[in-house]
Amino acid sequence: MALLPIVRYPDLRLRQPCKAIETFDARLAGLADDLAATMRAAPGIGITAAHVGILERLTVIELDGPGSLRIYVNPVIEWFSPEMQRHTEGSVSMPGVTDEVERPARIRLRYQDLSGAPQAEDADGLLAVCLQHEIDQLDGIFWIDRLSRLKRERIVKKYGKTRG
């Protein structure tokens, strides 16, 4: 496993939609392993290929420590619950700043595993938050886009100060 360099905000690659993965091979499995290592080192609980400048629809999430890694290839949310939840979010591409984001409390998604087999999953709680956050990133939507303009400007200013 290799640690990959993380793209930092405001890099324009964080605003580009990622392309679907069509080849399921050792390169993809290796990229998933490298993403997991990079996420753990950041540290974080989720990361996408876009966070390391690779514009492909791949994300890994690890909420419960080693052994709980989840890999999602070409994830798409099919359903959002009408109930909402608020959760503090941040990004490995914008370290040092967080804010509360409101998102649907439950989702249903479809995706593929590393072999290309179709999968479906329902998620709630922190997993639902993380999946929505990472899938937004795969769609070219950076997490601060979910904040009000005033909050977004405050976060960008605070991030600018933390960078020196």
Q: What is the pLDDT of residues 58-101, one digit of tens each?
A: 999 999 988 899 999 999 999 999 999 999 999 999 999 999 99
Q: Residue 110 is part of which domain span?
A: 12-162
Residue 3 located in a structural domain:
no
Cis peptide before 118 (omega within 30 of 0): no
Residue 86 located in a structural domain:
yes
134 labelled catalytic: yes
Catalytic residue among 56, 62, 89, 134: 134
Residue 97 located in a structural domain:
yes
Say if residues 138 and 75 touch (Cβ distance below 8 Å).
yes
Rg (alpha carbons) of the chain, rounded to whole number: 15
Residue 150 located in a structural domain:
yes
Name the domain count of the chain.
1
Residue 16 located in a structural domain:
yes
Residue 59 located in a structural domain:
yes
Which pTM was predicted? 0.96
Say if residues 153 and 164 touch (Cβ distance below 8 Å).
no
Task: Give the CATH number, domain containing residue 110.
Answer: 3.90.45.10
Residue 89 located in a structural domain:
yes
> What pLDDT digit, counting tens, does each position of 96-123 carry?
999 999 999 999 999 999 999 999 999 9
The label of the residue with tokens 């937004």 reads 136
